[in-house]
Amino acid sequence: MNLSKSYNSKTVEDRIYRFWLKSGFFNPDNLPKKNKKSYTIVLPPPNVTGELHMGHALNALIQDVLIRQKRMNGYLTLWLPGTDHAGIATQVKVEKELKKQGLTRYDLGRKDFIKMVWQWKKKYGNIILKQLKKLGLSCDWSRIRFTMDKNYSRAVKQAFSHYYKKGWIYKGKRVVNWCPRCQTSLSDLEIEYKEEKGKLYYIKYPLKIINKKQRTIDNEQGTRDKEQRTMGSEQGTRDKEQRTMGSEQGTRDKEQRTMGSEQGTRNKEQRTMGNKFIVVATTRPETMFGDTAVAVNPKDEKYKNLIGEKAVLPLTKREIPIISDILIDKTFGTGAVKITPSHDLKDCDIGSRHNLKSIQVIDEKGKMFNCPSPYQGIKTLEARQKVIESLEKISLLEKIEDYNHEIPKCERCGKTIELIPSEQWFLKMKELAQIAKISVKKGKIKFHPKKFEKSYFDWLGGIKDWCISRQIWWGHQLPIWECQKEKQQSQNLKEKYFVSLEKPKKCSICGKCRPKQVNDVLDTWFSSALWPFASLGWPRKTKDLKKFYPTNVLSTGRDIINLWVARMIFSGLEFTEKIPFKDVYVHATVLNKEGKRMSKSLGTGVDPMDLIEKYGADATRFGIAYQIMGGQDIKFIENNIIMGKKFCNKLWNASRFVLQQTSSSKRKAPHLRRYEKRYKQEILKTEFKTKNLTKADKKILTSLEITTKSVNKDLENFLFGKAAHTLYDFFWHNFCDVYIEESKKQNKETTEKILLYVLLTSLKLLHPFIPFITEEIYQKLPLKKEKSIIIENWPI
RNA sequence: GGACGAUUAGCUCAGCUGGUUAGAGCGCAUCGCUUACAUCGAUGAGGCCGCAGGUUCGAAUCCUGCAUCGUCCACCA
C-alpha cells in the first residue's frame, strides 16, 4: 500500500464524493436491508439567492454528523435537501439585474418578470447546493425539493384553503411595515433596526383659543379657570426647581417660562400667537398632517387640565382633541405625544381605543399626500425638512435635540420602513399558537439547549395574527379569487372572495363573471412552515411521508426559532396531526474574532469555500466541529482549521504506518473482522487475554472502549465539540504517541491486529466528522470490507 | 427596554454535581530530520480563573452585588 507522505485533500475529496454519489448510499432506498428504522432530517432550505456562509457550514456539518452516524448505526436515514424560493430576497436580486438594463419589473409586467426569475433560478439557484456538496454532505440529492415545485405549490394552496375554510383567514386594514422600495408589507421579523442619529423635534401645537362667546357651559369653565390659576401657582414653584418640560403650563403663568436662551428670544412672538401651546416631541414631524389627537398620560399632573381640550394642528389648522392614554410615558420628551394612527403602531392602538380617525398621509411609494400643497407628493425626508422650516418661520418649533434611535429597515434591501395602513390578509393565530405551545410543554418536542424553549413560549404567548400577504410578484399567489360582479361591495369575505386551488372556470359566487385572482403572494414563511411534510409529498399520502415523517431532528439557528420553527410546529400539528420533529437543535452563532456576528456587508465574514480550498473539507469540518462546545457561540478563528488539517495529516500518517506493518500479514487480515466481533462481545476477556496482551495492548483497548462510549454519549446529547475533542485526544495522544511507539518494540502478530482494529474503529468513529479521508483510508485497509465506510457498522 | 449568555495562559477554548501542584490546541523558547508523520517529536516558559463580598474545613466551580462584552427579542414617540 503506497500512500503519499502527506495527505492531500485535493486529490481525494472530489473523487470520493463522486464515488459516494455513484454508490447511491445517500438515498435510503439503496441502504442495506438491516437498516430499518427511519431517521430523518430535513435540511433547512437555504435561499436560492444564498451563498454559503459559516452559519450554513456549521449547521450542515451538524446534520451530516448526525445522519452519517445514524446511517452507520443501522438506521434508514434520509436527509432531504432543498432550496427556498425566498420571495423578497430573490425578487430584489432579480430586480437589481434588471436595473442594470435600466428596467423595472413594471416594464416587464408580472408574467414576464416571473419568467425571468425562473430563468435566474435555473442559472444561479444551485450555487449553494454545489457548495454544500463540497463540504461532503450526505444528502439524498435525488429527493431535492424547491418550495415552488409544482407539488409543493399544491401543498401551499391546500394549506391556505384549509385555514380559509376554517374561517381563520381574514382581510383587514392594518398599519403594516411597508417597504417603499420592495413595494410590499413586511412582517416584524423581516425588518432590522439600525441605530441612526436622528433629531427629536419639539413642536408647539397651539391650544384652541376659547372665546367666552363660544362657551356654552359657563360654570364648568369657571371651575376650570380656577384650576388653572391654582396650577399656575404650583407651576411657579416648579419653575424654580428648574423644570425642563411642560412649557405649555408656563404659558399660563404671567410670563412664558423659558427653557433656555433660545426660548427666551421668542417670547415676544409667542405672546402674539396667543401664548398657549402644548408641546409635543417627535422624531417624525412630517407625519403631523395625519395627527388626529395629542395624547398625555392620565396621571400626568402637568396636563391634567388639558385632557378633553383641543389643539390646533399647525400648518393645516385642523383641530384635534387632547386625550389621555396609559401608554404614554410621562418622562419622555414633554410627556405629550402627537397621535398618528395611520403611521405608527402604537398610535394605531391608541387610535382604535379612542375611536380616532386614521388619516393616511404617506403613500405606498413613501411620498406625502393628503396634505397642503407644498408638501404634497414629496418624499418623507424632504417633507420633514420643509415642515421644520415652515414651523420655524411661524415660531412653532420650540427646539431640536439630538436623538439616536432605532430606525426600522427592510432586511432585504436596507431601505427605511414606512408604517402605512394597508389591506392585508391575516391568519388567526390564537388556536395555532396554543397547539404549538402544548407539544413543547408536554415534552413531545425538545429544544437543545433547553433554554430556548423560553423564547419560544414568550413569542407564542404574545403572538399577534400573522400577516401572510405580500405585495410582491415572486411567490405563491394567494389561491383566492375575487368576484368581479359590479357593486360587489360586501364586507363579508365570503360574498366577495372564494378559494380555488385551480383556475376556476366560473365564479363560484355569482356564477357569471370571470373572477380575478388577488395579486398578493404569500409570506415566504407560509410555505417554509410546511417544509417537513410538504417536502415529503403532503398532501398526497406518499410512501415517503409514511416512512420518514415525523422527522427526527431539526437543526437551526436561534434567530428563526419563532420565524420558522414555531410555524413548522403548528403547521405540522394542524395538517398532519403529528409533531414535525422530535428534537430541535439550536446551534451556535458563528461570530468573528471580535465576538461580533459575521456579516457580509461589514466584510467580517469568512467564506467556508476559501477554507475548503485552503485546508480541505475534512479539516474545515473538524475545525468547526471542534469549536461546538455546549450552547456557546463560536468565535471563529482559522487556527482551529489548521489544527484540523494537521489532525488529518496525523491520521493519514498513522494509517500509513499501520498499513506498512500489516501489509506483510495480508493473508491473516480477513480474520480481523472476527476479532472485532468478539472484542465487542467479550471486551478484552477472551481473545486478547488468551493472547497474553502486553500492558500497552490492554491500555489502548481499554482506552478505545472508553472513547467509543464517550463519543456515543456525546453525539446522543448533541455535544459535537466534546466528541471531536475526545477523538482527537485518543487518536493522537493515546494511539499515536503511546501505542504506535510501543508497537514498534512489540512486533508481534497480536500487535498488528490490534493496530488494525484500533485504526478501523477510529476511522468509523471519525467518519461523521471527516468523511473523505476516513473513506480514503478505509478503502485501503487489508480487510474484508463493506463497499463504503458509509455503511460500516457503528462502534458501540 | 426585555430575555439569555460570557468573562480561566498572548489567541481560541475545556474544566461535570465544590476537594490534592488549574488543562488542550495555536503561538512563543530550546533541542531533535530516531526507518508513519518537521503538517512531526521532546522539553519548557506563561494564569491573584473580570472585580467585591458571602456560604464552606475547602471555590475557577455555589450565592449576592458590580463592571465589561456579546447574542436574540422588542411599536418607546
pLDDT for A189-212, tens place per residue?
567 777 677 788 888 888 875 543
Which residues does A757 contact at the CB level (< 8 Å), separation at least 6?
A672, A675, A676, A679
Q: Nearest nucleotide (C1') to the CA of residue A454? A: B3
- Among the residue ranges A76-85, A334-343, A348-357, the one predicted with the least confidence is A348-357
The answer to whether A372 and A253 are in contact (CB under 8 A) is no
Q: Nearest nucleotide (C1') to the CA of residue A593? A: B12
Residue numbers 705-724 of A with CB closer than 7 A to any atom of strand B:
722
How distant is C1' of B71 from CA of A212, in Å?
A: 61
Q: What is the pLDDT of residue A190?
A: 67
CB of A409 lies under 7 Å from some atom of strand B: no
A404-416: pLDDT as tens digits: 677 788 776 778 8
CB of A148 lies under 7 Å from some atom of strand B: no
How distant is C1' of B48 from CA of A634, in Å?
A: 29
Q: Residue A378 and residue A701: Cα distance in Å, rounded?
A: 79
Q: Residue A290 and residue A340: Cα distance in Å, rounded?
A: 5
Q: What is the pLDDT of residue A251?
A: 32
Q: What is the pLDDT of residue A229?
A: 34
C-beta contacts of A712-719 below 8 A and 24+ residues apart: A712/A795, A712/A796, A715/A65, A715/A66, A715/A69, A715/A768, A717/A448, A718/A62, A718/A448, A718/A583, A718/A585, A719/A628, A719/A629, A719/A630
Pairing of strands A277-282, A191-206: antiparallel
Angle between helices A54-72 and A617-625 (to 10 degrees): 90
How distant is C1' of B28 from CA of A146, in Å?
A: 52
Q: Residue A301 and residue A319: Cα distance in Å, rounded?
A: 23
Pairing of strands A418-427, A38-42: unpaired
**pLDDT interval class at A623 (50, 70, 90):** very high
How distant is C1' of B20 from CA of A282, in Å?
A: 66
Q: Nearest nucleotide (C1') to the CA of residue A739? A: B36
Percent of chain A with pLDDT over 90: 36
Q: Residue A477 and residue A506: Cα distance in Å, rounded?
A: 19
Provide the ipTM: 0.93
Residue numbers 311-330 of A with CB closer than 7 A to any atom of strand B:
327-330
| Sequential DSSP letters for A329-371 | -TTSTTSEEEE-TTS-HHHHHHHHHTT------B-TTSBB-SS
Which residues does A722 contact at the CB level (< 8 Å), separation at least 6?
A629, A710, A714
A382 grid coordinates: 424632504
CB of A698 lies under 7 Å from some atom of strand B: no
Q: What is the pLDDT of residue A530?
A: 96
**pLDDT interval class at A268 (50, 70, 90):** very low
How distant is C1' of B65 from CA of A329, in Å?
A: 30
Residue numbers 457-486 of A with CB closer than 7 A to any atom of strand B:
458-459
**What is the torsion angle, in degrees rounded to the nearest 10, for the CA atoms of residue A226, residue A228, residue A231 and residue A235?**
-140
How distant is C1' of B32 from CA of A139, in Å?
A: 47
Q: Residue A572 and residue A584: Cα distance in Å, rounded?
A: 14
- Strand B nucleotides where any atom sits below 7 Å of a protein CB: 3-6, 11-15, 24-26, 36-42, 69-77
Q: Residue A391 and residue A792: Cα distance in Å, rounded?
A: 79
Which residue is the nearest neighbor of B72, CA to C1'? A559
| Sequential DSSP letters for A139-175 | --GGG-EETTSHHHHHHHHHHHHHHHHHT-EEEEEEE
| Residue at A570: amino acid letter | F
How distant is C1' of B59 from CA of A713, in Å?
A: 29
Q: Residue A314 and residue A341: Cα distance in Å, rounded?
A: 18
Task: Please give the distance of CA A574 from its chain centroid, rounded to a whole number.
Answer: 22
Residue numbers 27-56 of A with CB closer than 7 A to any atom of strand B:
none
How distant is C1' of B29 from CA of A42, in Å?
A: 51
Residue numbers 756-785 of A with CB closer than 7 A to any atom of strand B:
none
CB of A338 lies under 7 Å from some atom of strand B: yes
A339-381: pLDDT as tens digits: 888 888 778 877 777 878 888 888 888 888 888 888 888 888 8
Pairing of strands A581-587, A446-448: parallel
Which residues does A402 contact at the CB level (< 8 Å), separation at least 6?
A197, A198, A199, A200
Residues A544-551, mean pLDDT to the nearest whole number: 95
The answer to whether A708 and A761 are in contact (CB under 8 A) is yes
Q: Residue A659 and residue A666: Cα distance in Å, rounded?
A: 10
In the predicted model, is pLDDT for residue A686 greater than 60?
no
Distances in Å between the alpha carbon of A20 and those of A11, A17, A346, A788, A789?
Answer: 15, 5, 57, 8, 10
How distant is C1' of B60 from CA of A220, in Å?
A: 72
Q: What is the pLDDT of residue A600?
A: 66
Q: Is A380 helix (H, G, I), strand (E, B) or coil?
A: helix
Nearest to A32 by CA among A42, A22, A24: A24
Neighbours of A110 (CB within 10 A): 13
What does the mean pLDDT of chain A come to?
Answer: 82
**pLDDT interval class at A317 (50, 70, 90):** confident
Q: In what order do the strands lie in the sheet with A319-324?
A: A310-312, A319-324, A293-296, A336-339
Distances in Å between the alpha carbon of A502 and those of A29, A287, A485, A506, A575?
Answer: 34, 43, 20, 11, 20
How distant is C1' of B18 from CA of A708, in Å?
A: 29
Q: What is the pLDDT of residue A272?
A: 32
A4 grid coordinates: 503519499
CB of A196 lies under 7 Å from some atom of strand B: no
**pLDDT interval class at A432 (50, 70, 90):** very high
How distant is C1' of B35 from CA of A646, in Å?
A: 22
CB of A9 lies under 7 Å from some atom of strand B: no
A184 grid coordinates: 410590499
Which residues does A310 contact at the CB level (< 8 Å), separation at least 6?
A207, A208, A319, A320, A321, A322
Q: Report angle CA A370, A291, A376 to the nearest 5 degrees.
A: 25
DSSP state, residue A496: T
The answer to whether A139 and A66 are in contact (CB under 8 A) is no
Q: Is A264 helix (H, G, I), strand (E, B) or coil?
A: helix
How distant is C1' of B64 from CA of A595, in Å?
A: 28
Which residue is the nearest neighbor of B34, CA to C1'? A741
Q: Where are the alpha helices (DSSP H) in A211-279?
A: 218-240, 247-250, 261-264, 267-272
Q: Residue A175 and residue A342: Cα distance in Å, rounded?
A: 6
Percent of chain A with pLDDT over 70: 85
CB of A337 lies under 7 Å from some atom of strand B: yes
| Sequential DSSP letters for A646-660 | HHHHHHHHHHHHHHH
Environment class of residue A51 by beta-carbon count within 10 Å: exposed (0-12), middle (13-18) or buried (19+)? middle
Q: Pick the more confident residue, A791 or A355.
A: A791
In the predicted model, is pLDDT for residue A249 greater than 70?
no
CB of A332 lies under 7 Å from some atom of strand B: yes
A469-492: pLDDT as tens digits: 888 889 999 999 988 876 566 667
Residue numbers 651-670 of A with CB closer than 7 A to any atom of strand B:
653-654, 656-657, 660
A282-300: pLDDT as tens digits: 888 888 888 888 888 777 7
Q: What is the pLDDT of residue A254?
A: 29
How distant is C1' of B20 from CA of A396, in Å?
A: 77
Q: Residue A299 and residue A576: Cα distance in Å, rounded?
A: 52
Q: What is the pLDDT of residue A664?
A: 56
Pairing of strands A277-282, A418-427: unpaired
